[in-house]
Chains A and B, each alone.
Chain A
């Protein structure tokens, strides 16, 4: 096993946030799903729920849980990735790593795997909540699988971007701020740009009729990526596949630039 991965996992699970964040994550996710259930199933006044609860409840709960999960993880991911390399610079341990026989890739992989494994821990611990919707119908294992795999890919790519900023800056606070700015740009700014364009046209064009430069920014949007994963299996192409390509390319680009920075790491130690 890569010694970096073992070290990272050991140290992270020793930190207080190692158990506080998963607990907080599950509490918030449970609260959001419960709220979605009541909002969909409530009938009349008070807290009385419908006698017959069908697939619309299951679908509402699942979609709420999937988007809530993506939202919470978008907020949490920079905490794990953006400080991963800067912490080594701040505590002056980076020189020790770079002068050891660990390759820049091993150092990067240790950090990336630890960040992503923590995200995976959260996703896996939240799976039973996503699966509650099975009881109501309308949602099957395929939808849960697609939502989960899409979330993992998007978060993996964003973790790689967080690590890139971590390789650029000396201070965790700077790397974390720029990572959050990047996530805001990818989620909110791309969405706002799309909405402005559609509103400016004052007509109800179909999605297929939009030019590539209108749709293009949305392929960078992790929430759009998640939305496209809800399409039936035969309709995953082109939108979900394009998003997948974009996120994989983003992740690879960030990885390449991080490794380049680590190779000249002494300049920032």
Chain B
């Protein structure tokens, strides 16, 4: 659905994108992760045909976003990181304007607008002015507007920013439902747990280029558990510092030893972990707890971008 090859874009000398590559399959819910200034918004804007790249290829459904702007616009729904609204408009008026702007036929408009209002949970407030809505409601209204022309691809730039936890959960459910209905979604977010729970894959971006996690993956498959090394938290009765040497002797990599908590990385599966635990106990170390920590997206993000502040 999306194919990006060696995409470059610079603004007044500074690089927005510097040879970025991406491939998103049809029907995917794909995440884009990177620190501030990594180039996420630039990529989204290019795909939404708002920006013209300096070089490289950006295609949506096999069409160049540069050369087939109108055709691409009918396929995509773009929600910018700070979406704007006409505060002096009533909700129905606002949706009517964008239904006209997206050439939704006049006879389909009432049903389309009613369904958008219902989907956004704003049906009973259709005559209210936009300025009267809460932030979460406004965000739902923008998403409803973005979906008016039934796009096949949704480009969502930081859609959860500023939303409260309940609104974030609602947004996640909405996106999962849309994805189940066949809409391909590319979503960038700083709230990594949002991406982790709903995305099938996540691409890492930094400095306008593809970035890789500690294991060298540029695209992380979130629905697969193929981690070669797993992290275990060992709770001890004594000081962890004393046990760290014994732990290292077992072949495990000591990540941290603070208080009576030891964090180790063990290569392999449960058998190798059990062997490490056995070795620790046979070395006379009293272990009170031994738990595996899942390698979360947040941890992989920290490993990939931990040292970079932009």
**Residues of A near any B CB (own CB < 8 A):** 3-4, 6-7, 10-11, 14-15, 88, 91-102, 264-267, 269
- Given A11-B88, A14-B88, the answer on whether A101 and B50 have CB atoms closer than 8 Å is no
Residues of A close to B102: CB separation below 8 A: 100-101
> Contacting B73 at CB < 8 Å: which of A88, A93, A99?
A99
Q: Which of A91, A94, A266 contacts B51 (CB 8 A)?
A: A266
Helix, strand, loop or mixed for chain B's interface?
Answer: loop
* Inter-subunit contact B86/A93 (CB<8 Å): yes
**What CA separation (Å) do A99 and B69 show in the bound complex?**
9
Residues of B within 8 A of A11 (CB): 86, 88-89
- Which residues of A lie under 8 Å from residue B103 when comparing CB positions? 101
Please list 11 pairs of residues, one from A and one from B, whose beta carbons are closer than 8 Å in the complex, sorted by A's number.
A4-B101, A7-B86, A88-B84, A93-B84, A95-B45, A95-B83, A95-B84, A98-B49, A99-B48, A100-B98, A264-B52
On whether A100 and B51 interact (CB within 8 A), knowing A3-B100, A91-B84, A95-B78, the answer reads: no
Report how far A101 CA is from B89 CA in the complex, Å.
20
B193 within 8 A of A: no
The 3 closest A-B pairs by CB, nearest first: A266-B50, A92-B84, A3-B100
Q: For the complex, is B74 an interface residue (Cβ under 8 Å from A)?
A: yes
Known: A10-B93, A100-B102, A101-B74. A91 touches B48 (CB 8 A): no
Measured between beta carbons, the chain B residues less than 8 angstroms from A97 are 101
Q: How close is B257's CB to chain A, nearest CB, in angstroms?
A: 49
Q: How far apart are the CA atoms of A6 and B89 in the complex, in Å?
A: 12
- List CB contacts (< 8 Å) of B87-114 with chain A: 87-89, 93, 97-98, 100-103
Partner of A96, one of B51, B52, B83, B87: B83
Closest to A7 in B: B97
Complex contact A93–B45 (CB within 8 A): no
A98 to B89, CA, bound (A): 19
Shortest A7–chain B CB gap in Å is 5
B24 at the interface (CB under 8 A from A): no
Contact B80–A92 (Cβ < 8 Å): yes
Interface assignment of B296: CB less than 8 Å from any CB of chain A: no
Query: How far apart are the CA atoms of A95 and B45 in the complex, in Å?
Result: 9
Tell me how far the C-beta of B156 lies from the nearest C-beta in chain A, rounded to whole angstroms: 13
Besides the known contacts A10-B93, A91-B87, 11 further A-B residue pairs in the complex with CB atoms under 8 A apart: A11-B86, A11-B88, A15-B88, A91-B84, A95-B45, A99-B48, A100-B101, A101-B73, A101-B102, A266-B51, A266-B52
Given known contacts A98-B50, A100-B101, A91 and B88 CB-to-CB distance under 8 angstroms:
no
Let me know if B68 is at the binding interface, CB within 8 A: no
**Complex CA distance for A96 and B70, rounded to whole angstroms:** 14
Q: Given the known A-B contacts A3-B100, A99-B76, A102-B101, are A93 and B51 also in contact in the complex, defined by CB atoms under 8 Å?
A: no
Whether the pair A96, B49 counts as a contact (CB closer than 8 A) is no
CB under 8 Å from chain A, chain B span 230-248? none
Which residues of B are found within 8 Å of A102, using beta-carbon distances? 101
Complex Cα gap A101–B101 (Å): 6
For chain B, residues 35 to 65, give those with C-beta under 8 angstroms from any C-beta of chain A. Answer: 45, 48-52
Assembled-state Cα–Cα distance A107/B76 (Å):
20
Q: Bound state CA distance, A265 and B83, in angstroms? A: 16
Residue of A whose beta carbon sits closest to that of B145: A96
Question: Which one of A7, A14, A96, A269 has the highest number of Cβ atoms from chain B below 10 Å of its Cβ?
Answer: A96
Residue in contact with A267 in the complex, picked from B49, B51, B85, CB distance below 8 Å: B51
Q: Contact: A95 with B50, CB < 8 Å?
A: yes
- Min Cβ gap B106→A in Å is 11
Distance of B143 from chain A, by nearest CB (Å) = 12
Contacts of B78 in A (CB 8 A): 95, 99
B294 at the interface (CB under 8 A from A): no
Closest to A93 in B: B84
